[in-house]
Copies of this chain bind each other. A is one copy, B any other.
Amino acid sequence: MKRTAMRTDLAVEIQELHKVEEKDGFSEEEYSAKGISVSRVKITGEQAALKLSKPIGEYVTVDLGESFSDEETHQNAVEVTSSEISRLLYGEKKTEETVPDVLVVGLGNRQMTSDAVGPVTVDRILVTRHIKNNMPQLYEQLGLNPVSAMSPGVLGQTGIEAFEMVKSVCDAVKPSAVIVIDALASRKMNRLCRTVQISNTGISPGSGVGNRRSEISRETLGVPVISIGIPMVVDAVTLTTDTIEMALEKIKKELSAGNPEIVSAFSAFEEYDGGDIIRNTLSPFDMNLVVTPKDIDRLTEKCAGLLAIALNKALHGGLEEEEIAALLGL
């Protein structure tokens, strides 16, 4: 079947679905550090951006592996995530001058477990901007960086686009960089709650689950925007389409040995765009059904915890993890 039904926010998955080459302005690099696999996808040309429907920029994917059942993996994943955030935030060379005032934004709906990872992460960020203003000596002494945070809520609860809210606060607070955290949709179940995507392209409208509005990016906010996301759901249409495809592949292999008419039947099949039929079959629920791990409540907590430690580390480089925890009262 044709692939018109795919919904994913992950650059690594989009690229699996489309043919894109170096000459289009595309590169991919993989490395493993402390047992944690990382992929860095760079879109540098308009051609690649068009083919992938993704803005020019860098997309880093960190594989969390067994972080939530193995303490050592957890620590390594935190470290790798934190250093990738730092690299995109500060550039390769971090200096006194490159340490920005950061506004951290938790996107998503706090009341919907599968969408809450942004606000829950933000709850655990060590904010310090007010300490700078109100207790400058303590601030100096602790060697803090100015960090502020907000969770703008979702359109259905506020009547205000997240972008509008972030833009107006950004204009008032004047950070030198913005970090947005959001729940993503992935195509593969084995990426759920196991992958962090970090990019310097902001969050583009229309990508992913399709309910994002105006873009939150350097273009619209006027300062660098780093976006961090963890896939929390697989869209039901995508799951079904993918599974059908994989199942058909196996069935075809088993059934068609020496059976030419079946081969031809399957070719007709492959030309067929199954997305609409599946969408109709799932309708009217397709937009509102999600596939999640059973223990999504617990996993949201775990993912937010990991992201918050990695972010606090990246934002408050001078502090030990324990000092941050103590300041947070965690």
Contacts and interface: CB of A to CB of B under 8 A. Distances in A.
Interface in A312-329: 322, 325-326, 329
Given A255-B272, A272-B251, A160 B289 contact: no
A148 B149 CA distance: 21
Contacts of A265: 255, 259, 261-262, 265-266
Given A261-B265, A262-B268, A282-B189, A127 B157 contact: yes
Nearest to A242: B281
B113 A297 contact: yes
A190 B285 contact: yes
A161 B130 CA distance: 8
A173 B161 CA distance: 10
Contacts of A282: 189, 243
Nearest to A209: B294
Interface residues of A, number: 82
Nearest to A125: B157
A160 B130 contact: yes
Interface string A130-158: 11000000000000001111111101111
Interface stretch (A8-16, A28-36, A164-172, A222-230): A164-172
A208 interface: no
A192 to B, nearest CB: 8
Given A114-B294, A160-B173, A325 B71 contact: yes
Given A112-B295, A113-B296, A150-B160, 9 more contacts: A111-B123, A127-B158, A127-B159, A129-B160, A164-B169, A243-B278, A246-B281, A259-B265, A289-B293
